Structure 1
Amino acid sequence: MSLHKLAKELDETARQSASMVEGITEALEILADGKLNKDPSVRDAVQIIITALQGQDRIEQRCHNLALATRQFALLPEAAPTSVYDEIWSSLSLDELRLPSLSGIAAHQVHGDAELF
């Protein structure tokens, strides 16, 4: 798979993830109805869904950042020094991609909140 195809697939993954949210947002609007939101369990469910949606947004951002880096890698000559790759990584907007010390740590963190990488 070429790097350009990989970048395209990452963008498509982000698009599909965002598309999934549309139905969830519609469900939230129903749950936010004044008659339903008086029930504490409905309010709790709404908060859980909102937290999950924030995680989806982070995944979408992550995919777009990875696609951008992949496109930049594809433009480099084969003999490009490691420092050029490092510079591309450091230019990304998400800390977990930009900072080597944060890379891949989200899966190892234990807490009650949504995993936001």
Structure 2
Amino acid sequence: MTDSSEHCGGRYSYGLAATLSIIAGKWKPLILYFLLDGPKRYGEIKRNVHGVSAKVLIQQLKELETDRVLVRTDYKEVPPRVDYALTPLGRSLTDRIVPLCTWGTENMADMVSALVERDTLR
């Protein structure tokens, strides 16, 4: 592998580690995926990302904004209107997540079977 720490500012040994630090968290890849087709308001994201608590969703949205993969736009209106959209960096990252979604869809039965088997080993 040629992806050394000098390519990642010295903080990470590999680009994959840097990428995983951005998308780490149960919900971040889903949040990014659902923003692919355009900006979404908080409620839309919450409806799409089933099972996430409000607290965790807000935290993960803030982290993704800090990491510069999404932008939060506050329209300064009453009632309040805020939406979230991918930045160019976020779009380039999310475009790489799409093949993982495709792989998951194509291999769903095998994954479900493996996960059931793993759960029986616990």
> Same fold by TM (over 0.5)?
no
Higher helix fraction: Structure 1 or Structure 2? 1
TM-score, normalised relative to structure 2: 0.23
Q: Which has the larger radius of gyration?
A: 1
Higher strand fraction: Structure 1 or Structure 2? 2
